[in-house]
Amino acid sequence: MTRLAHDRYCDEIAHQVRQLRDVVTSGADLTATVPTCPDWSLEQLVRHEGGALRWVNALVSSHAEKNIPYEEIPLAGGPEKQGDPAALDAWLAETGDLVVGALREAGPDTKVWGWLGDLSSGFWARRMAHEITIHRADATLAAGLPYEVAAEVAVDALDEWLEIAEWATRREGEAAELLAGPTRSIHLHATDTAPELNAEWIVEFGEGGLGWRRGHEKATVALRGPLTPVLLAFYRRLPLDAPELEILGDRKVLESWLERASFG
């Protein structure tokens, strides 16, 4: 599939950092539990995301040939003072500037360690654009704020998640339960996008492995709705019973996928 341009991913990271900062400074309760990541408070979620961005900045800016341990990343845990929106906001602002600057300077083709077989700075630009896009959804849900994302970013986020799922199922011992049994299929259908975005996916999985493609085809189960709710539901950020969504066919197949395939 055609990916977005490297600069577009960089722009999106910068945009998402600004929006995450808006959540931090909105007056939201930083101690509130994040419903979609219940082991974290809102502040812990923000610190996690900022730390991940600082880790990627360290990888890309050093042209790392192997992973850099998290504990070696300066200020990866965030500001020393807890519960201070202003300190958290300033840390996030600096974090965004660092990682976006490193990615822009590197361009898409600099060799950098990665975990998906794509050893390039371009991999990290794409990965972190979608990492922060989804975790900002977690933050806005915790804060009770509205969430939206650009259509081309949401489409690429679904592509990337399916690429990661396909890669994970090829690894020895991964996803045995998911792939057990006959071939089943899921049709994701965004109902509110321009035709040129081709925002429909067919996901097939079973004993023969996992594969996916874009397109409109009959499947074992279909998940239909506006693009953003479909994205959030497939990332387990929105319940399947949300009023924006419609499920046609064998709901248990979709529920089985969501139970066994999780990321981010």
| pLDDT for the residue 261 | 82
| pLDDT for the residue 208 | 87
What confidence tens digit (pLDDT) does each residue in 161-219 have?
Answer: 999 999 888 875 567 788 889 999 999 999 999 999 999 999 999 998 999 999 999 99
Over residues 7-11, the mean pLDDT reads 98
What confidence tens digit (pLDDT) does each residue in 141-170 have?
Answer: 999 999 999 999 999 999 999 999 998 888
Q: Is the pLDDT of residue 264 over 70?
A: no
pTM of the model: 0.95
pLDDT band at 263 (very low <50, low <70, confident <90, very high): low
Fold agreement between 6-143 and 161-260:
no
What confidence tens digit (pLDDT) does each residue in 41-98 have?
Answer: 999 999 999 999 999 999 999 999 999 999 999 999 999 999 999 999 999 999 999 9
What token pair was written down for 120?
């390039």
Domain boundaries, the chain: 6-143, 161-260
DSSP secondary structure, the chain, as one string: -PPPPHHHHHHHHHHHHHHHHHHHTTT--TTSEETTEEEEEHHHHHHHHHHHHHHHHHHHHTT-SS---GGGSTTTT--SSSS-HHHHHHHHHHHHHHHHHHHHHH-S------SSS--SHHHHHHHHHHHHHHHHHHHHHHHT------HHHHHHHHHHHHHHHHHHHHSTTTTHHHH-SS-EEEEEEESSS-GGG--EEEEEEETTEEEEEES----SEEEEE-HHHHHHHHTTSS-TT-TT-EEEE-HHHHHHHHHH----
What token pair was written down for 220?
């074992």
| CATH class for the domain made up of 161-260 | alpha beta
| pLDDT for the residue 100 | 98
What confidence tens digit (pLDDT) does each residue in 229-262 have?
Answer: 999 999 999 999 999 999 999 999 999 999 988 7
Report the topology of domain 6-143. Four Helix Bundle (Hemerythrin (Met), subunit A) (1.20.120)
| pLDDT for the residue 172 | 58
Over residues 131-136, the mean pLDDT reads 98
